[in-house]
Amino acid sequence: MLDLDDVRRRYRELSSVEDSKEKIIEELFSQVEELQKDLTKAHDELDNYKELAAMFKDKSNKDKEALEMKNRDHARLSFVSVLVDGDCMNFQDSLIQSGYDGGQKAVQLLRKAVEDYLFQLDPEANPRVQCKIRVYANVGGLSKTYHDTNIAPVDGTLEAFIQGFNMENGLCDFVDAGNGKECSDVKLRALFEQDILDVHCQRVIFCASADNGYARVLGPHRESHRISLVEGPSFAREMKDLAPHFATTSFPDVFRSTKIISRRVSFSNVTPPRTPPQNYASAVKTSPPRSQSASDSRPVSGVQECGRSAC
């Protein structure tokens, strides 16, 4: 016979299981709904990120194009500045003696030397970079020195050299700085300070090895990777102390390796000609001696260096 109590118990157990099952199903549905909400939110965020990524990509491409254009403009405007103190950094005698042709050849040799040097420093550097050359000198004093030392005894030789130098290339100038002692220094210093601050100036090649005065100009820029010192005559003492802090080189085909030494004969060392014996007739014909001016009688002696003394 059916036991009702047992049936009720079993029914309650089964109902409890069904309730648990329903509860589990409800919890699962609730979790699925939460996951769907999270998924929808994630999809929305992903769409936003995609839009941002597209926007940033577009901006990046535009910035890249702008940077490339800027780099092209910078490359077109970039230059190397070659600064030469013509009083202490003298061109090879053969170039000076060749006058106009020598001036043109000096520019060609100097530009080639600079080009080779830049390639040596960085083979990947822009080969079409402009080369600006500026030489400052006391032309009057320098011309006299060349004449006195018999390097260029013919008047106008240096002037012809300068004319050829200036005519060879539009970016190359040989400038008469004036007769003052520091005229070349002042001009060169001002141009150096201008170029070193110019973002388009890739390098300053400084050619004034024999003048200590430039140590004060170069000192604040020691360790700069944009400055090279060119040695012609040996570095002056203070310049020699600075040289290890910069890149150094030499252009032997262009510049002398020694200073010009002007030697002048002292009148006090010249033996005067012996006076021949005179007879009465010759004594009558002899005119009174011309009085000697102070400038004629002043002896010029010793050894005088070119360069700064020419100023």
- The one-digit pLDDT tens for each residue of the chain (311 residues) are 667 777 777 777 777 777 788 888 888 888 898 899 999 999 999 999 999 999 999 998 988 888 888 777 777 789 999 999 999 999 999 999 999 999 999 999 999 999 999 999 999 887 788 999 999 999 999 999 999 999 999 999 999 999 999 999 999 999 999 987 789 999 999 999 999 999 999 999 999 999 999 999 999 999 899 999 999 999 999 999 999 999 999 999 999 999 998 765 444 444 444 444 444 334 333 444 443 433 333 333 333 444 444 44
Q: Flag whether 6 is in a domain.
A: no
Residues contacting residue 257 through CB under 8 Å, at least 6 positions apart = 232, 233, 250
Q: Say if residues 167 and 197 touch (Cβ distance below 8 Å).
A: no
Q: Flag whether 26 is in a domain.
A: no
Q: Flag whether 278 is in a domain.
A: no
Q: How are strands ordered across the β-sheet holding 201-207?
A: 172-176, 130-137, 79-85, 201-207, 227-230, 247-249
Q: Flag whether 61 is in a domain.
A: no
Q: Say if residues 96 and 255 touch (Cβ distance below 8 Å).
A: no
- Residues 58 and 168: their CA atoms lie apart, in Å, by 48
- Residues 44 and 285: their CA atoms lie apart, in Å, by 125
Domain count, the chain: 1
Which pLDDT belongs to residue 114? 97
Q: Flag whether 16 is in a domain.
A: no
Q: How far is CA 123 from CA 49, 132, 200, 228, 291, in A?
A: 43, 20, 19, 17, 70
Q: Flag whether 105 is in a domain.
A: yes
Q: Flag whether 60 is in a domain.
A: no
Q: Does residue 211 sit in helix, strand or coil?
A: coil
Supply the range of the domain harboring residue 92. 83-250
Q: Say if residues 104 and 254 touch (Cβ distance below 8 Å).
A: no
Q: Flag whether 38 is in a domain.
A: no
Which pLDDT belongs to residue 277? 45
Q: Whole-model pTM?
A: 0.68
Write the single-letter amino acid at 60: S
Which pLDDT belongs to residue 125? 82
